[in-house]
Amino acid sequence: MKRMNLWMLTAILTCGLSLLCSCSSDDNSTDGSKPDTPRTSPVDYTVMLYTIGGENLDWETEADILKACQGLKAQDPNVRFFFQYKYSSQKGLDQQSEKRGGWNFLGKAGGVYRAELEPDMLSDDGKDMRLFTEQMRYGTQQATAELYQPDSIASFIKYCQAVGPAKNYILIIGDHGGGYTTVDDAYKDGRGNTRAVCNDGTLKGNPGITAHELREGIEKSGVHLKMLMYDDCIMNTLEVLGESQNTTDYVMASNHITRGGNFTHLINSLRNVAANNDFEGEIGKYMEKVISENYDSQLESEEVLEKYPGQKCHCDFVLTDMKKFQGVMSAMKQFTDKLMSMETVLNTLDAADGCYQCSPGSSLYDVTSYVSILNFFNNDLKETADALTKAIEAAQVKHVYTQALSDFLAKSDKYTPDYKKLSYLVNIGCGRTNGVGESFGLLRTSAANDDGDIECIDENGQYWIYESDLDMFTRDKNKVNELATWANSYKMTAFEQTTGWTRWIKKNRDLPRNNPPFFFE
């Protein structure tokens, strides 16, 4: 690929601001010195990309940055675009380079780079980026920098606000995502608050950013976002969005494994918003365009194709109005209260069986699918189930599906009875009773293996194995993780504190199995 070592003077000066903001301390969480005057007066939108290579996505991250740069115009009065990016380890870069037949990366392994994108960072033909310079490096820690720290997130947002003041700010979190997974608390030394995103392979334990840390970082920055955009897989969960109620007007995320968006289209959409003041409409068009161009013609993920060759991509993008999401939280609490008020435990053995699961490797299930099935088995839930469904429909101002997913929902009677839409993801878990009749809960932590066995964890950090052939749970005597107890994780989420959902996880007796769209009979 064609890349040059020298930049135009203006690009160097811009990157110099990044260096200025990084050299007043030995860590990467400092705010440093703010420039006396910004380059221009406030624009309509400043977009901020905060991302980590994740050991296998650096080439995709560079492609995202290229798309953003290609969409920019010099001295654009509407949109500016900043990024802070930490590369994967050398091992990760080498593996990616080999896989792609020799890939020359823009930056160095473990390097942390921070800068504003400018059109003259493109190669002469506009088809590639020029190499990242040493002036773009941020901080002195580099490979040991902990980008999951709230102070690091706050520092980046403050930097963007100072250098690129705007009427509206959009934060994009890039790289890997996995929704809420309690067991991931283990690598945080008991700090709790899981929901990992942006896994950092340069650090011990491959730590990621949690939704709680992200919320704290945004709050520390003092900037209220127009939109928080997850350019990551499986982040459209109740547990994740519950942390974002007061930090942003909108959240854009997906229930499925994604391959990211197109930042050229995003920038163009934001320019249109500046002209017609229709944010929801333009972002909705952006989502439709990305699904149509990037997903409808693609096949499913590799793990799905191993079992079902040729299957088309099941993916969606959801835009949520966070002011209305509070109604979802309230309705979810009322629904949980109703479940708990029933004298007997619902017979969910058939209900949970077949509940929509976003990915075979995830323990997350669609809320409206689950609620619809439970209501089908017990009509006493109808009032609260209908209220929850209406609250979700009101909050989700735009929901776009791939054609394969739309076709599946349209023809599926067993898995989405009386309801042909998806909503948010949530942990369902299951409950068990010990020898003295006391109930405890289990959260699924892994997909079923070839034998159908599933690994779970209880509220005390004890691991259990569900053995499908015996239809029973067996305690793993050698595996206990005290750092992954519910007290350190699930119960710290705003979602749990509002709804008390763990009450149902303990009472519900079934672990969902045979879940679509990947386990057709």
pLDDT digits (tens, 9 = 90+) for 266-293: 999 999 998 899 999 999 999 999 999 9
Residue 12 contacts residue 135 (beta carbons within 8 Å): yes
pLDDT at 395: 98
Query: What pLDDT is attached to residue 11?
Result: 38
Q: Which residues touch 180 (CB under 8 Å, ≥6 apart)?
A: 194, 195, 237, 239, 240, 364, 427, 490, 493
Q: How confident is the model at residue 160 (pLDDT cuts 50, 70, 90)?
A: very high
Does residue 206 have a pLDDT over 50?
yes
Most confident of 11-15, 182-186, 255-259: 255-259
Give me the pLDDT at residue 328, please.
Answer: 98
Q: Is the pLDDT of residue 45 over 80?
A: yes
pLDDT tens profile 317-330: 999 999 999 999 99
pLDDT band for position 138 (cuts 50, 70, 90): very high
Q: Rounded mean pLDDT of the chain?
A: 84
Query: How would residue 18 be classed by pLDDT, with cut points 50, 70 and 90?
Result: very low
Q: Give the pairing type, strands 316-321 and 166-174.
A: unpaired
Length of the chain: 521
Predicted confidence at residue 86, as pLDDT, reads: 97
Q: pLDDT at residue 70 above 60? A: yes
Q: Are 136 and 159 in contact (CB under 8 A)?
A: no
Which residues, other chains included, contact 367 with Cβ-Cβ below 8 Å and sequence gap of 6+? Answer: 238, 332, 388, 392, 423, 424, 425, 426
- HSE-CB of 238 using CA atoms within 13 angstroms: 30
Per-residue buried b or exposed e for 311-320, using 16+ beta carbons within 10 Å of the residue's own CB: bbbbbbbbbb
Distance between CA atoms of 247 and 19, rounded to whole angstroms?
28
Name the CA dihedral angle for 111, 266, 300, 200, rounded to a multiple of 10 degrees.
Answer: 20
User: Which pLDDT score, from 0 to 100, does residue 229 have?
Assistant: 98
- Which residues, including other chains, have CB under 8 Å from residue 162's CB and lie 6 or more apart? 21, 34, 35, 38
What does the pLDDT average to over 339-348?
73
How does residue 182 score in pLDDT terms, banded at 50, 70 and 90?
low
Of residues 235 and 40, more confidently modeled: 235
pLDDT at 425 over 90: yes
User: C-alpha angle 182/185/191, rounded to 5°?
Assistant: 130
**Dist CA 384 CA 475 (whole Å):** 36
How confident is the model over 482-511, as a mean pLDDT? 86
The pLDDT tens digits for 84-127 are: 999 999 999 999 999 988 889 999 999 999 999 999 999 999 99
Q: Tell me which of 12-26, 46-60, 243-257 is least confident.
A: 12-26
Report residue 395 as tokens: 């909050």
Using pLDDT thresholds of 50, 70 and 90, give the confidence band for residue 434.
low
Under 8 Å CB-to-CB from 189, ≥6 apart: which residues?
Answer: 483
Backbone dihedral angles phi then psi of residue 114, each to the nearest 5 degrees: -140, 130
Peptide bond into 517 cis (omega under 30): yes
Question: Between these two residues, 18 and 380, which has the higher pLDDT value?
Answer: 380
* Residue 126 and residue 110 in contact, taking contact as beta carbons nearer than 8 Å: no
Sorted by sequence, the CB contacts under 8 Å of residue 477 that are 6+ apart come out as none
Q: How far is CA 422 from the centre of its chain?
A: 17
> Which range has the worst mean pLDDT, 74-78, 225-229, 445-449?
445-449
Q: Round to whole Å and give the CA distance between 79 and 50.
A: 17
Higher per-residue confidence, 367 vs 359: 367
Any idea which of 96-105, 220-229, 239-248, 298-307 has the lowest mean pLDDT? 298-307
Q: pTM here?
A: 0.90
Distance CA 488, CA 508 (A): 22
